[in-house]
Structure 1
Amino acid sequence: MPHDTPPLDPTVVQWSVRPEDRAGRPLLVLLHGYGADEHDLFALAPYLPDALVVASVRAPLSPPFPAPGFSWYPIEGLDGRDPRHVTESASRFIEWVDAATDATTVGLLGFSQGAAVALQAVRLEPERFAFAINLSGYATPGDLPHDEALAQLRPPVFWGRGTRDDVIPSFLVAHTTEWLPEHADLSGRVYDGLTHSVSEQELADVRTFLEKQLESL
């Protein structure tokens, strides 16, 4: 299908290990939020299980000036958060995954926009991704062709968000609250007082979730 979203740049990815050390190991791909870049979530890598190869990718779009960094899809204008743009970015991301790795186990960790794209990628190819971690993000409204297959597979998904997060619109939180339990093996937590960010407690919970996924491999 035609794309308004450009491909991901394979030269700006942050990897936790050298290419020769990646074979046979599970891969966790990090997808940053709006206005950030590939360095942002990569700071979490030292706190994640050592068994994982971690790769942090850069979103393909530049937000309007003066916003810094990069974005996965527009959130401004009349078509802000258009589900079509989320799907396009997710398909571009899948293209990068297919080109960048032959790992048999690929999990996703996204923050905010990146979390929405991660979940959309799982919906586009339910059998491609082993699990997803949704931090301060949401499930994109609308139906996709493989949603029924996803509901049968029910991949593990961790969803963490804060009670003081005023960035994600409430209707998207409400939609995700209904949609995720129907399509995934959902775990997660609502963190009292947390804003649109990641806390130490949430990071500890993410590590526990990842360790459980590694045990099940």
Structure 2
Amino acid sequence: MTDVPALDPDAVLWSEPLDARRDAPLLVLLHGYGSHEHDLGGLIPHLPDAFAFAAVRAPLAPRWPTPGYAWYAIENLDAHDPDLVSSAASRFVEWVDAVAPGRTIGLLGFSQGAVVALQALRLRPERFAFVVNLAGYATPGELAGDEQLAVLRPPVFWGRGSRDEVIPAQLVVHTTHWLPAHSELSGRVYPELAHSVSEQELADVRTFLEKQLAALGQ
């Protein structure tokens, strides 16, 4: 796999000290390409406060002049090596294991962050309780954990805009077939929405998260 640096432990936005409410499930937020940990951190006030939250920063710098951070290179996205995504997801899982061993964890990612979240779930199907996939996709190719994932069928919410022209159409089609076979899928296509998150989508995400809290006994 392509080498990806470890996540910076100091580049994490926490909603509360790590040792606080150790019994609360942790929802980790993964931002998109060219963004940073404070971006999705702005969603925290709109999400159920029964969660503790951590917004992490991706470890790579995008190609100039794009600002912010990236999980993997997006040049020639139509034909990119899936190992790029797996390498980024492996680094993310390493961070999770280091900071929150044994803790119940859900993932919420936007765009590239959603791709990494789904890939992390595929690498470690037993480690994550659920995934919220906003404007992302499932990476083509088979992984060792896919067979177990198809048995476990963890809850996944997939939201995307009908006018999203960022994610290649063939990746959307692939995800449309892949997710129902490997998860308990719910979600929605939002009319007129481009590559972003709407108020309606955020309300649907909150409803999904509240259902996950109930399932976890919170």
Superposition TM-score, scaled by structure 1 size: 0.96
- Could you list the runs of 4 or more consecutive aligned residues of structure 1 that deviate by over 4 angstroms after TM superposition? 77-80
Partner of 1:6: 5
Report the Cα distance in structure 2 between the residues aligned to 1:71 and 1:40, rounded to whole angstroms: 13
CA contact (8 A) 1:35 1:69 kept: yes
CA contact (8 A) 1:110 1:116 kept: yes
Report the Cα distance in structure 2 between the residues aligned to 1:80 and 1:37, rounded to whole angstroms: 25
CA contact (8 A) 2:108 2:133 kept: yes
Partner of 2:126: 127
Q: In the comparison of the two structures, how many residue pairs are matched? A: 216
Does residue 159 (structure 1) correspond to residue 167 (structure 2)? The answer is no
Partner of 1:139: 138
**Does 22-31 or 180-189 show the bigger shift?**
22-31
Cα deviation, residue 78, structure 1: 8.1
Which residues in structure 2 correspond to 1:34-73 (within 5 Å)?
Answer: 34-73=33-72
Identity of aligned residues (%): 67
Partner of 2:107: 108
Partner of 1:186: 185
Cα deviation, residue 80, structure 1: 6.3
Report the Cα distance in structure 1 between the residues aligned to 2:171 and 2:77, rounded to whole angstroms: 17
Which residues in structure 2 correspond to 1:57-96 (within 5 Å)?
Answer: 57-77=56-76, 81-96=80-95
Which residues in structure 2 correspond to 1:16-31 (within 5 Å)?
Answer: 16-31=15-30
**Structure 2 unaligned spans of 5+:** none
Report the Cα distance in structure 1 between the residues aligned to 2:28 and 2:77, rounded to whole angstroms: 30
Cα deviation, residue 90, structure 1: 0.3
Cα deviation, residue 5, structure 1: 0.7
Partner of 2:200: 201
| Letter in structure 2 aligned against 1:53 | A
Superposition TM-score, scaled by structure 2 size: 0.96
Partner of 1:212: 211
CA contact (8 A) 2:89 2:117 kept: yes
Q: 3-state SS of the aligned residue for 1:186?
A: strand
- Cα distance, 1:33–1:80 mapped onto 2, change above 3 Å: farther
**Does 102-111 or 186-195 show the bigger shift?**
102-111
Once superposed, what is the RMSD of the aligned Cα atoms? 1.3
Q: 3-state SS of the aligned residue for 2:19?
A: helix
Cα deviation, residue 81, structure 1: 3.7
| Letter in structure 2 aligned against 1:137 | G
Q: 3-state SS of the aligned residue for 1:107?
A: strand
Report the Cα distance in structure 1 between the residues aligned to 2:42 and 2:64, rounded to whole angstroms: 26
| Letter in structure 2 aligned against 1:109 | L
Q: 3-state SS of the aligned residue for 2:28?
A: strand
| Letter in structure 2 aligned against 1:42 | G
Report the Cα distance in structure 2 between the residues aligned to 1:145 and 1:178, rounded to whole angstroms: 18
Report the Cα distance in structure 2 between the residues aligned to 1:170 and 1:209, rounded to whole angstroms: 26
Cα deviation, residue 103, structure 1: 4.8
- Cα distance, 1:136–1:77 mapped onto 2, change above 3 Å: closer
Report the Cα distance in structure 1 between the residues aligned to 2:153 and 2:181, rounded to whole angstroms: 8
